Each structure stands twice: as structure tokens, then as C-alpha cells.
């Protein structure tokens, strides 16, 4: 097992996490900025990185901004917006090559961090706020992005299922926000939100590569010009119970294949000592090609090409997804329910146990070969307040037995069945 | 075993061709937990008409290479996924136009998993029953792609370009074509294309090359393969012009999707010459259409493109085409606007500064790719089957001149060779 030790410090209420390593040909940089999901701020927060990537004070025109990235040997730069528990997280990412392979002059890590700092803290402005040209254009882009969810039916069905299941909580909100809010956004209102966000939101900055904490600290102090007024961490998201009676939601669209999704609630979240049990539960149920869902829905019944489950430990939700012929709906639901019942009754073979343990352990070890996956695993600890090393988690998973899984399964409740089907017979 | 050092990349590749013809490549990556291995055959969806020296010419149903890939996972004593899972390996496979690859990644029991990979691919087990059962599963896979607007737009363009060459046939076939597949046709294809001399094994990760090579040698030495003649592949004559100028598909989408591109004459090249053609064309497309280009920014400002606007170039000895586009409110205007901008640039040509910037970006991109064992293995094999060495990429980029790029630019954008594929909602005009 590889020894992974992030070196950490705090500067200006920003947490710095640095992993010095020679393993990669690049430096990986990630900045996480979180804000509780709320109707009030979700759209403005989502729009902010879209506007930030249009230009900075040093590179006010978008082409200059992007040419700068090309000049840094085509540094990979991007952002993601997603939900983790009841938080909306904005992540800025950069992947920039290590100078040892090219003759770059000034340190590429320094130039990369300066670029990220410039993008986040020194946006292009007019009259003290964001350039209206960029705000207007990115409102259109964000709207198109939200509308485009329907183009990918697998994703659309998954999001609709969560929306219906979490109808009465902030988690129903889309990470990209809501189209109805966009009309009212102005450069002034967005800039005010942005300033408040930067001042008060929890910020974590990660660097993985051939460097040291001291080197990163020195660069960050120069490159991130921002005023921070709040020392805020993350509050743990509490798991919610399922609705008393399972609901069934059917949507109709012009599709050939039906998409069957299920949403289930579990009281076990990332910080819970039983988290490794929940990982095993999901692994035996549908995490892998040897799992119950793939074996029974696909291999035995030939009903589907894909049938799997996912466990979101930050929210306490297990979701199931499969693509089936529309007239196989009842059959597929029955087979999936049988698998859920089998887990509750502890019908888990020694082979299923040992294979699932081997697969989870492998996944955790493989993660260590990707700088961004290492970062994302470490960030779980920041979000949940629970620190686990990879070795500890593998150890805990290997100790899980069938009785513990059955016990956890007994507390998993089916909340929502969602079916996306065709328009025939409407 | 030959050691091939790439000192400027800090990598060494090991290679050996075994007596049965199998090419084995090993790339040790220090510090990596994971080992990733691909076992690939030079056999894909386009190989539907062929003859082995001394045998008869055979035509097989569409989608059979992909069907075969699915069926390889079945063994007399159970499912292969389960055997991999017992040793913590995640396994998968994919079929493309010109190759089929089987793969696993794992962090422990590397030797066992590698032997499992080789053995299952070298041990077909097809029965009437298991072939029939697979038709339901693949039928759902086909339906899934039928609902996928991006895939339909992508494939719609290839269908618009090609009338005869099998590159226009969907890799998975159709529900009707796979109905014709039997265990006999599967065995026929298997015997032809899964001979070790048509295959290549690539192992990358934290491994000891000598030990891995020995394990593979021993495994292969214990098996006998009858000698295999040369495989001849037949491709019908493809007209030079595009098959259809416009392909329209109706599916529910938020905005129309539009991909378009230029069909070229078959390059009839391989090795470094083919690589230079590919990289030069990719530079042209990047200079013209990357997110930092003037054309991109103008189109974005006019709201004719979105963030998903992209471009690619595919070439093989007997087909070559470019593809660009994305979501747009107005496909006709998008194509017209690009045509105008491209034509305006032709007289003066592309600039030295943007050429250098683009080349620098490509070199950085290649170095970043070397972080990923998956990308190395897949790209290496893809190029190997075209007689190209992946690690030549840097040198070829360095050899390309601005004149090369401008010549390619003027040659490629031949509007007589244009085809367009559009996906619109049923209710969109």
C-alpha cells in the first residue's frame, strides 16, 4: 500500500492541501468552493464560474484567456458544478505539465496557480462589476446547458427520479440552478453574490505533484488576492427517511427504450461507522458486473444491457438504473425487488462477499494512480468531518459480514420508482 | 525481449514477438498501483468480408464482431466477470471499426488476472442457447443507442458520407442483422481473427517486465495454434463523392445537433506517413476551431455554437474524414458561416504564431496522456494496427511545418466533399 500524506496549512481562511509526489507528469490543481444548496443562491452560484472563465483583469478578452492556457502547453483547465450532500460545490481544475519535460522558463506550477488565482479573484470588470457582455452570453449558455439534460435520456431519468424523490428538500435543486432565475440576474447582482461567496464560502485548494507545501504557500499568497471574513467549514448532511409509501412516477417522451430508475434512502452516510457496510451493500446489489442486478436483470433474464446501483454516501441515497423494453416494466421491477428482498434476508454467498470486497479494495487502490481521484477522496473527509485513509477503509470493508449487510439492508427503504417511457397508448 | 528507451519521456517500452506471432508489449510505470492490460485483435465492424489464404471468401452479418466480443465473456464453467472479481480485477471490452479489445485493470494478482485475460479470449464457448440469449441483451444496447442523440448524429454523418464502405454500418448492427448470427458464424470469425498472429497484448503499470513476459511466453508455449495464412479483407468500391449531402434524424432534443465534415480519398498510407497526415490535419482543425480560435469566439458570440462544439479527424488506410459541430439553433447558418470564415482565411493561410501555439498545446496534451495507463494502452494498440508507433507522435509534431499545415488546410476544405448530419426534435421545423 502506498503511503499518501497530504501536507496541510491554512492561509487567509483557505485550507491548503499539498501532496508532494513524483508519480505524475503533471501538476494537478483543484479548488473547491461550497455553499449550502438553496433556492436563493443556486442559480447565481452556478452562473459564476461560467462568467469567470470568460476573462480576467490580465486577460480581459476570452481569446486572450484561452491563448494563455494554450501557451502553458495546453494546460487542461475547467470547472464542475455538482451537489455533495446538501451543498452545491464549484470545483476549478487545472492539469499542467511538469517543467522537467519541456523548457518552460518560469515554473509552470507557479504560472498555473497564478492563472487559477487570477481567474477566481480578479475577473474582468466594467464599472466595478462583471462585464455585461459576458454575463448576458453566459446566461444563455447556462440556460442551454440546463435544457440539454433531456438530450441524454439516462441522465434525464436519473435526475427526474431524484427531483421527485427529494421534492420537499433543497436536494431537489439542479446543481446548475433554475432557468426561471436567470432573467433577473444582472452584472451588479451577480457580482455582489460572487463577492459574498468568495468572502464567506469554505475554500479548499489542492495541489498534487513534484512540489512542497512551502512552495505552494508562497505562490498562493501572491496569486490569490481576496478578502476572507468567515472561517466556515462544512456541516454534515443528515440522512432523511423515505416516504411512508413508495411513489411511482411515469414520464413520457419520444423514446424507444424505457428507463427504469429507483431511489432508496439509507440512514448511513459517509461519516457513519457503518459506511463500509453500506459500500458492501451497494457492491453486492449492483456496483459491479458480478452483482445481483447485473446477474439477474441482464445475464439471467436478458432484460437489459445495463442494470446497476450507485451509493451516494454524502446524501444517504442508493439509486438503481436500467434500460429496458417498455413492456418489460413489471417483470424488471419484480426482479429488482427480489434482489432487494434477498439482501434484507441476508441471502449473500461467500463468493459474492469475497468478490465484492476484492472489487472495492481494487477500486480504492486504483484511485491512487490518479491525482484528481486522490484529491476527490481526500475532499470527502473535509466534507464529512470523517477522516479515513485508503488502508483503513479497505480494512473496514474486509471485515464486513453478511449479517451486517442484511442489517443495513433492513434500513434501506424504497422511496421512488421512476419510469421514462414512450408516448404510445397515452 | 527488446527494450526500447524513450529517454526524453522517461519511459522504456519492452517488446517481443512470440513464436506463434503474438506481439507482446510491456510498459512499466514506476509508482503506479494499477496494472492495465489490453488483449486486442485487429478485427472490427468493417471486417465483414474476408478470406484466409487457402480458404473461401466469407461474408458475415452486420454487428458480428461486437456480438463476438459479448460472447467471449461466457465460459463453460461460468462467467468471466466473476473470475476477475475474485481477484479484484475490473474487466471490460469494446469493439471499434477496426479492432476489438479485451481489458482488465487491477492492483493485485496481476499474473493471475493476465492469464485469465489471455485464456478467456483464447477459449471460445458458443452454444445455440447462449447465442440466442445474447440477442435480447444486445437488442437493448442497440435501442439505447437509437435513443442517444449524439450517437445518432455522429453515425448519421458517417452514413451520409459512405455508400458502400462498411465503416457506415453501425458497430452493433441492427436487431434484424444480429438475428442472423449463429454459433457457426461466430466460430468462423473467431478462427480467422483471433489467431495470435493477428493480435497484440499490451501491459502497462507497476510491473516487472521480465516476469510478465515469462508468464506470457509460458502460457502461449503450452497452447497449439494451427498456422494461419494471410487474411485478405475485401472492401467494396466506395464512390469519391458523399452518399447524401444531408442526413436528418428526428429525436427529442433541446436544440438541434449538427455535425458536418469532409470525406477524403482513401489515404492508402500507413506508418509514419499516415501519422503525419493525421497530426497535420488535427493541427489544422485545432488552429481553426479550438476554443481559443477567432472563428470559435465569433461563432460563440453569434450564439451559433455552444461549449460542446468540437472537431475530430479519423483516418485509416482506406477511409478518412473530418467531423465538426455540436448543438446549434441553426444548422444551415452554422455551416454557411463556417464556410465563409474558412474561405476568407484560405488566401492568406494560417499564421505562424497560432500554428506554434497549437503545436505546443498538442505536445502538452501528449505528455498528459502519458499519466493514464488506459490511454497509453488504447492509443498504442490503435496506432500499432496501422503500423504507427505512438511514441513517434512528438517527433512527427516537431517535423510538421507551417507550409505542411497550410497545404493540408487548402486541400481538406473541399466543399464538394461536404456532408451534414442534423438531429432535430419532431416538433422543430
Taking residue B212's Cβ as centre, other Cβ atoms within 10 Å add up to: 23
> Which member of B9, B90, B363 has the closest CB to residue A362?
B90
Using the 8-state DSSP alphabet, how is residue A95 labeled?
E
Q: pLDDT category, A2, cuts 50, 70, 90?
A: low
Alpha carbon distance A82, A175 (integer Å)? 5
With a CB cutoff of 8 Å and minimum separation 6, the contacts of A416 are: A161, A164, A165, A243, A246, A247, A248, A249, A262, A263
> Which member of B106, B251, B292 has the closest CB to residue A67?
B292
With a CB cutoff of 8 Å and minimum separation 6, the contacts of A69 are: A75, A77, A115, B292
Interface of A with B in 300-359 (CB under 8 A): 302-306, 323-325, 351, 354-356, 358-359
- pTM > 0.90: yes
Interface of A with B in 147-206 (CB under 8 A): 147-154
Listed residue (B290, B326, B295) closest to B308, CA to CA = B326
Q: Is the dihedral of CA B171, B175, B179, B180 positive or negative?
A: negative
Alpha carbon distance B163, B152 (integer Å)? 17
Q: Which three cell numbers stand for residue A393?
A: 477503509
> Mean pLDDT over residues B88-95, rounded?
96
pLDDT in tens, A321-361: 999 999 999 999 999 999 999 999 999 999 999 999 999 99
Distance from CA of B30 to the nearest CA of A (A): 7
The pLDDT value recorded for residue A104 is 64
The pLDDT value recorded for residue A94 is 97
What element of type H or E holds B51?
strand B49-52
Q: Which three cell numbers stand for residue B230?
A: 494471410
Helices (H), B53-123: 64-71, 80-86, 110-121
**Which residue of B85, B131, B328 is the best one to mutate when testing the A interface, meaning the one whose CB has the most A CBs within 10 A?**
B85
Strand partners, A26: A97
**Residue A62 in contact with partner chain B when CB distance is under 8 A:** yes
- Which range (A112-116, A162-166, A227-231) has the least confidence? A227-231
Contact by Cβ (8 Å): B99, B385: yes
Chain B residue nearest residue A72, CA to CA: B361
Using the 8-state DSSP alphabet, how is residue A127 labeled?
T
Contact by Cβ (8 Å): B369, B376: yes
The pLDDT value recorded for residue A232 is 76
Q: Which three cell numbers stand for residue A80?
A: 464542475
pLDDT in tens, A103-135: 667 889 999 999 999 999 999 999 999 999 999
A355–B307: do the CB atoms touch at under 8 Å?
Answer: no
Distance from CA of B243 to the nearest CA of A (A): 27
Q: Which three cell numbers stand for residue A310?
A: 450507485
Q: Which residues of A touch B252 (CB under 8 A)?
A: 150, 253-255
Residues of B designated catalytic:
69
A290–B360: do the CB atoms touch at under 8 Å?
Answer: no
pLDDT in tens, B306-348: 999 999 999 999 999 999 999 999 999 999 999 999 999 999 9
Interface of A with B in 102-131 (CB under 8 A): 102
Q: CA geometry: angle at A108 spanning A107 and A110, to 5°?
A: 70
Alpha carbon distance B61, B56 (integer Å)? 16
**ipTM for the complex shown:** 0.88
Taking residue A129's Cβ as centre, other Cβ atoms within 10 Å add up to: 18
Q: Is the pLDDT of residue A419 over 90?
A: yes
Distance from CA of A144 to the nearest CA of B (A): 8
User: Which residue shows C-alpha cell 480458404?
Assistant: B55
Distance from CA of B155 to the nearest CA of A (A): 16
Alpha carbon distance B164, B141 (integer Å)? 25
Contact by Cβ (8 Å): A310, A318: yes
Q: Is the pLDDT of residue B132 over 60?
A: yes
Percent of chain B at pLDDT > 70 equals 100
**Residue A253 in contact with partner chain B when CB distance is under 8 A:** yes
With a CB cutoff of 8 Å and minimum separation 6, the contacts of B256 are: B327, B328, B329, B330, B331, B422, B423, B424, B425, B428
Q: Which residues of A touch B144 (CB under 8 A)?
A: 154, 257, 305-306, 323
Counting Cβ atoms within 10 Å, is residue A350 exposed (0-12), middle (13-18) or buried (19+)?
A: exposed
**Residue A257 in contact with partner chain B when CB distance is under 8 A:** yes
Q: Is the dihedral of CA B206, B210, B211, B217 positive or negative?
A: positive
Contact by Cβ (8 Å): A415, A265: yes
For residue B185, what are the CA distances in angstroms to A173, B64, B182?
52, 8, 5
> Which member of B144, B251, B255 has the closest CB to residue A305?
B144
- The backbone torsions φ and ψ at residue A256, rounded to the nearest 5 degrees and listed phi first, read -90, -40
User: Which residue shows C-alpha cell 436567470?
Assistant: A182
Using the 8-state DSSP alphabet, how is residue A234 labeled?
-
Distance from CA of A145 to the nearest CA of B (A): 9
B254–A70: do the CB atoms touch at under 8 Å?
Answer: no
- The backbone torsions φ and ψ at residue B73, rounded to the nearest 5 degrees and listed phi first, read -75, -10
Listed residue (B139, B236, B362) closest to A76, CA to CA = B362
Taking residue A239's Cβ as centre, other Cβ atoms within 10 Å add up to: 18
Q: Which residues of A touch B361 (CB under 8 A)?
A: 70, 73-74
**Residue A21 in contact with partner chain B when CB distance is under 8 A:** yes
Concatenated DSSP letters for A303-317?
Answer: -EEEEEEEEETTTTE
> Which member of A141, A299, A366 has the closest CB to residue B33?
A366
Contact by Cβ (8 Å): B14, B213: yes
Q: Is the pLDDT of residue A1 over 60?
A: no
Alpha carbon distance A265, A273 (integer Å)? 17
pLDDT in tens, B170-228: 999 999 999 999 999 999 999 999 999 999 999 999 999 999 999 999 999 999 998 88
Chain A residue nearest residue B34, CA to CA: A366
Concatenated DSSP letters for B228-256?
Answer: --PEEE------SS-S-SEEEEE---SS-
pLDDT in tens, A369-384: 999 999 999 999 999 9
Q: Which three cell numbers stand for residue B279?
A: 497530426
Q: Which residues of A touch B327 (CB under 8 A)?
A: 144, 148
The pLDDT value recorded for residue B429 is 65
Q: Which residues of B touch A365 (CB under 8 A)?
A: 33-34, 107-108
User: Which residue shows C-alpha cell 461466430?
Assistant: B186
Residue A342's SS3 state is helix
Q: Where are the beta strands (DSSP E) in A245-341?
A: 247-252, 258-265, 304-312, 317-324
Concatenated DSSP letters for B159-203?
Answer: HHH-SSSGGGS-TT--HHHHHT--HHHHHHHHHHH-SGGGEEEEE
A362–B107: do the CB atoms touch at under 8 Å?
Answer: yes
Chain A residue nearest residue B295, CA to CA: A63
**Residue A63 in contact with partner chain B when CB distance is under 8 A:** yes
Amino acid at each position: 500500500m502506498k503511503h499518501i500524506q497530504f501536507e496541510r496549512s491554512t492561509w487567509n481562511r483557505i485550507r491548503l492541501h499539498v501532496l508532494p509526489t513524483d508519480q505524475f507528469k503533471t501538476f494537478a490543481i483543484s479548488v473547491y468552493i461550497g455553499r449550502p444548496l438553496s433556492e436563493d443562491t443556486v442559480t447565481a452560484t452556478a452562473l459564476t464560474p461560467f462568467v469567470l472563465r470568460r476573462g480576467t483583469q490580465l486577460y480581459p478578452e476570452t481569446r486572450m484567456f484561452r491563448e494563455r492556457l494554450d501557451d502553458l502547453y495546453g494546460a487542461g483547465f475547467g470547472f464542475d458544478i455538482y451537489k455533495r450532500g446538501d451543498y452545491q460545490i464549484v470545483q476549478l481544475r487545472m492539469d499542467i505539465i511538469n517543467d522537467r519535460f519541456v523548457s518552460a522558463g518560469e515554473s509552470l506550477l507557479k504560472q498555473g496557480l497564478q492563472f487559477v488565482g487570477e481567474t477566481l479573484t480578479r475577473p474582468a470588470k466594467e464599472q466595478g462589476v462583471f462585464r455585461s457582455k459576458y454575463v448576458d452570453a453566459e446566461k444563455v449558455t447556462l440556460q442551454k446547458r440546463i435544457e440539454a439534460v433531456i438530450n441524454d435520456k439516462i441522465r434525464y431519468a436519473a435526475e427526474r427520479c431524484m427531483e421527485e424523490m427529494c421534492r420537499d428538500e433543497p436536494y431537489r435543486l439542479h446543481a446548475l440552478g433554475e432557468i426561471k432565475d436567470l432573467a433577473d440576474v444582472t452584472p451588479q447582482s451577480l457580482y455582489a453574490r460572487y463577492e459574498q461567496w468568495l468572502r464567506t464560502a469554505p475554500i479548499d485548494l489542492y495541489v498534487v505533484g513534484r512540489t512542497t507545501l512551502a512552495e505552494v504557500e508562497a505562490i498562493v499568497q501572491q496569486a490569490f488576492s481576496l478578502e476572507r471574513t468567515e472561517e466556515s467549514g462544512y456541516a454534515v448532511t443528515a440522512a432523511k427517511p423515505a416516504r411512508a409509501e413508495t411513489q411511482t412516477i411515469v414520464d413520457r417522451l419520444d423514446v424507444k427504450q424505457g428507463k427504469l430508475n429507483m431511489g432508496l434512502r439509507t440512514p448511513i452516510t459517509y461519516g457513519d461507522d457503518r459506511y463500509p457496510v453500506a459500500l458492501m451493500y451497494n457492491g453486492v446489489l449492483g456496483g459491479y458486473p458480478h452483482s445481483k442486478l447485473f446477474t439477474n436483470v441482464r445475464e439471467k433474464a436478458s432484460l437489459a444491457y445495463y442494470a446497476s446501483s450507485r451509493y451516494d454516501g454524502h446524501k444517504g441515497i442508493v439509486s438503481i438504473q436500467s434500460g429496458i423494453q417498455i413492456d418489460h416494466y413489471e417483470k424488471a421491477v419484480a426482479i429488482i425487488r427480489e434482489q432487494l428482498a434477498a439482501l434484507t434476508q441476508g441471502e449473500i454467498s461467500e463468493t459474492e462477499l469475497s468478490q465484492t470486497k476484492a472489487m472495492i479494495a481494487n477500486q480504492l487502490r486504483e484511485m491512487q494512480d490518479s491525482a484528481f481521484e486522490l484529491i476527490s477522496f481526500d475532499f470527502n473527509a473535509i466534507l464529512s468531518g470523517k477522516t479515513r485513509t485508503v488502508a483503513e477503509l479497505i480494512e473496514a470493508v474486509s471485515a464486513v459480514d453478511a449479517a451486517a449487510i442484511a442489517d443495513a439492508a433492513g434500513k434501506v427503504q424504497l422511496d421512488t420508482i421512476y419510469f421514462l417511457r414512450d408516448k404510445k397508448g397515452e | 525481449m527488446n527494450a526500447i528507451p524513450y529517454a526524453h519521456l522517461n519511459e522504456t517500452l519492452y517488446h517481443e514477438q512470440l513464436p506463434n506471432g503474438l506481439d507482446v508489449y510491456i510498459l512499466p510505470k514506476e509508482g503506479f498501483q494499477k496494472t492495465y492490460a489490453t488483449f486486442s485483435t485487429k478485427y472490427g465492424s468493417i471486417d465483414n468480408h474476408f478470406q484466409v489464404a487457402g480458404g473461401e471468401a466469407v461474408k458475415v452479418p452486420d454487428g458480428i464482431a461486437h456480438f463476438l466480443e459479448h460472447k467471449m465473456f461466457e465460459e463453460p464453467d461460468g462467467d468471466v466477470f466473476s473470475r476477475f472479481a475474485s481477484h479484484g480485477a475490473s474487466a471490460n471490452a469494446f469493439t471499434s471499426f477496426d479492432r476489438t479489445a479485451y481489458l482488465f485493470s487491477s492492483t493485485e494478482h496481476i499474473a493471475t488476472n493476465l492469464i485469465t485475460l489471455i485464456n478467456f479470449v483464447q477459449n471460445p464457448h458458443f452454444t445455440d442457447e447462449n447465442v440466442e440469449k445474447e440477442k435480447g441483451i444486445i437488442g437493448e444496447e442497440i435501442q439505447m443507442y437509437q435513443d442517444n442523440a449524439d450517437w445518432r448524429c455522429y453515425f448519421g454523418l458517417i452514413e451520409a458520407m459512405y455508400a458502400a464502405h462498411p465503416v457506415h454500418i453501425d458497430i452493433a448492427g441492427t436487431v434484424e442483422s444480429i438475428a442472423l448470427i449463429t454459433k457457426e458464424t461466430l466460430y468462423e470469425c473467431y478462427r480467422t481473427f483471433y489467431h495470435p498472429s493477428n493480435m497484440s497484448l499490451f501491459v502497462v503499470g507497476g510491473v516487472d517486465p521480465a516476469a510478465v513476459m515469462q508468464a506470457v511466453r509460458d502460457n502461449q508455449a503450452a497452447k497449439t495454434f494451427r498456422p494461419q495464412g494471410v487474411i485478405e479483407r475485401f472492401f467494396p468500391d466506395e464512390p469519391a463523392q458523399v452518399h447524401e449531402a444531408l442526413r436528418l434524424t428526428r429525436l427529442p432534443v433541446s436544440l438541434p445537433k449538427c455535425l458536418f465534415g469532409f470525406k477524403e480519398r482513401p489515404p492508402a498510407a500507413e506508418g509514419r506517413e499516415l501519422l503525419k497526415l493525421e497530426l497535420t490535419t488535427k493541427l489544422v482543425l485545432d488552429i481553426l476551431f479550438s476554443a481559443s480560435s477567432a472563428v470559435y469566439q465569433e461563432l460563440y458570440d453569434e450564439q451559433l455554437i455552444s461549449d460542446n462544439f468540437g472537431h475530430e479527424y479519423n483516418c485509416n488506410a482506406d477511409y478518412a474524414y473530418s467531423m465538426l459541430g455540436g448543438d446549434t439553433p441553426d444548422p444551415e447558418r452554422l455551416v454557411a458561416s463556417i464556410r465563409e470564415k474558412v474561405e476568407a482565411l484560405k488566401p492568406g493561410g494560417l499564421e505562424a504564431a497560432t500554428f506554434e501555439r497549437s503545436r505546443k498545446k498538442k505536445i502538452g496534451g501528449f505528455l498528459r496522456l502519458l499519466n493514464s495507463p488506459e490511454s497509453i494502452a488504447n492509443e498504442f494498440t490503435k496506432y500499432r494496427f496501422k503500423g504507427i508507433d505512438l511514441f513517434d507522435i512528438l517527433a512527427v509534431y516537431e517535423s510538421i511545418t507551417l507550409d505542411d499545415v497550410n497545404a493540408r488546410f487548402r486541400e481538406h476544405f473541399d466543399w464538394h466533399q461536404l456532408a451534414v448530419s442534423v438531429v432535430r426534435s419532431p416538433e422543430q421545423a
